[in-house]
Amino acid sequence: MRVAIILAAGQGTRMKSAMPKVMHKLAGRPMINHLIAAAEPVFDRIIVVAGPGMPELERAVAPHASVIQAERLGTGHAARMAAPLLEGFAGDAAVLYGDNPLITTATLERLVAARSDADLALLAMRPGDPAKYGRVVQDATGAVTRIVEWADASEEERAIGLCNAGVVCAAWTDLSRWLSGLGNANRQGEYYLTDVVAAAHGEGRRVQAVEAPEAELRGINSRVELATAEAEVQARLREAAMLSGATLVQPASVTLSWDTKLGRDVVVDPNVVFAPGVTVEDEVAIRAFSHLEQCVVRRGAIIGPYARLRPATEVGEGAHVGNFVELKAAHLGAGAKANHLTYLGDVTVGAAANIGAGTITCNYDGVNKHRTEIGAGAFIGSDTALVAPVRVGARAITAAGSVVTEDVPEDSLAIARGRQVNKPGRGVKGK
Ligand code: UD1
Ligand code: MG
């Protein structure tokens, strides 16, 4: 049995935000949920230490348990908050930092494996710029003796390249004893989790540092660091998408979400954004500058360029959605086409229907939303306004420029526009 305690009570002052730091998103998902996803395969139980007044954090981590650290007295104090939930627990416990969300499952597995050879295992890195990370101090034999926080370190200690990533793992019986022995006589007046290393060493226990790449162990304290982490997450997602059979013509220009699903032989042109909740089936083409969110695109469809797919949309097999077309809660049947300058909201479009340029569903009357139904094989003439609720039957036609306020029976033609009047001699010259 193994437990992970994730520290996330800090407000994250350096983010300058009303939102708790760990709720800031990477690839469309709060950073804490990235960390939880990496930890779940390795730990049987996860306990998150939240701050007071962070209900959104507690909701985001559910069904995992949260405990509250009422006063922010340091990382060591925060870890202690999990103790009431772990009375009598005899397994291993790891402490992770919520602002360290890029750690992979493989690295956490190396950490717990190292813990079976040592009494305390910790993750360390050698960052290009060690900045203000805590430094891992070793003795002449290479044994880890303690971690010194940047604020408390001497010039000599600040020159150490090996930095603390903030993850430790030990038997809970040991860790909880070391945590209760912590003091706060340091520069920041905080109970440092990092001091458990010196406590272990003081008992003559073996401490082992497991090194991993900086790209995984980087902490996020500011929005500048958030952007660096976003770049790392995007790089991983793009690589995974390409390895599973999607072509990204210009990968760096495509923004993916943590849950984006791209099928085989999907081709994504430059400058496409996938917000959360998008599934794209095989052989779909997504052309430049399209934005997709919470939608399903069925096999062989063509989207864009410049298309916007909003939530609850489904584009059927082989359907076409062209430039400057916005879909919201729209279901397009197989082979349907809406190729130019159109808004389709709260609508069902039957198979092979053709939606002319400039078609608008007038779905909102200022108070309520209403539905439009367009039957299979219907032909909606250019610049038709469909005033919902309204139905256009299968194979019906609406004349260009119509304002359709009444249902159109199947197989009929609706013309709903003013008749043209030509006045001879009243052209430019006759004014
Ligand atoms: C910490 C480490 C440092 C390490 C760095 C790696 C300590 C004392 N220092 O510094 O050695 O190099 O992480 O990123 O641990 N938190 C609480 N309650 C508190 C204080 C913090 O829950 O009272 C949480 C924060 O929400 C955050 C995490 O603990 O998720 C780490 O705290 P942070 O203030 O970011 O520590 P660093 O200064 O980055
Ligand atoms: Mg930090």
pLDDT, one tens digit per residue, over 269-307 is 999 999 999 999 999 999 999 999 999 999 999 999 999
- Find the ligand nearest to 133 CA: 1
Structure confidence at residue 142 as a pLDDT band (50, 70, 90): confident
> Which residues does 125 contact at the CB level (< 8 Å), separation at least 6?
162, 163, 165, 211, 212, 213, 214, 216, 217, 218
pLDDT of 197: 97
Structure confidence at residue 69 as a pLDDT band (50, 70, 90): very high
Q: What is the mean pLDDT of residues 111-135?
A: 95
Ligand 1 atom with minimal separation from the 12 CA: 26
Ligand 1 atom with minimal separation from the 74 CA: 23
Query: Could you tell me if 323 and 340 are in contact, meaning their C-beta atoms sit under 8 angstroms apart?
Result: yes
- Domains, in order of start, for the chain: 2-217 (3.90.550.10), 223-414 (2.160.10.10)
Is 125's C-beta closer than 6 angstroms to any atom of ligand 1?
no
Structure confidence at residue 11 as a pLDDT band (50, 70, 90): confident
Supply the mean pLDDT for the chain: 97
Q: What is the mean pLDDT of residues 167-194?
A: 96
pLDDT, one tens digit per residue, over 309-330 is 999 999 999 999 999 999 999 9
**What does pTM read for this prediction?**
0.94
Q: Which residue's alpha carbon is nearest to atom 36 within ligand 1?
A: 75
pLDDT, one tens digit per residue, over 363-372 is 999 999 999 9
Instruction: Tell me: pLDDT of 431 over 80.
Output: no
CA of 175 to the centre of ligand 2 (A): 21
* CB-proximal residues (5 Å) to ion ligand 2: 99, 219, 221
For the chain, give the percent of residues with pLDDT over 90.
97
Is 3's C-beta closer than 6 angstroms to any atom of ligand 1?
no
Instruction: Tell me: pLDDT of 356 over 80.
Output: yes
In this structure, the dihedral spanned by the alpha carbons of residues 26, 32, 34 and 40, taken in order and rounded to 10 degrees, is 180
The CA distances from residue 280 to 6, 241, 290, 316, 351, in Å, are 34, 11, 13, 11, 19
pLDDT of 430: 83
How far apart CA 225 and CA 230 sit, in angstroms, is 9
Phi, psi of 67 (to 5 degrees): -125, 155
Instruction: Tell me: pLDDT of 9 over 90.
Output: yes
For residue 24, indicate whether it is catalytic: no
Q: Which residue's alpha carbon is nearest to atom 8 within ligand 1?
A: 192
Is 191's C-beta closer than 6 angstroms to any atom of ligand 1?
no
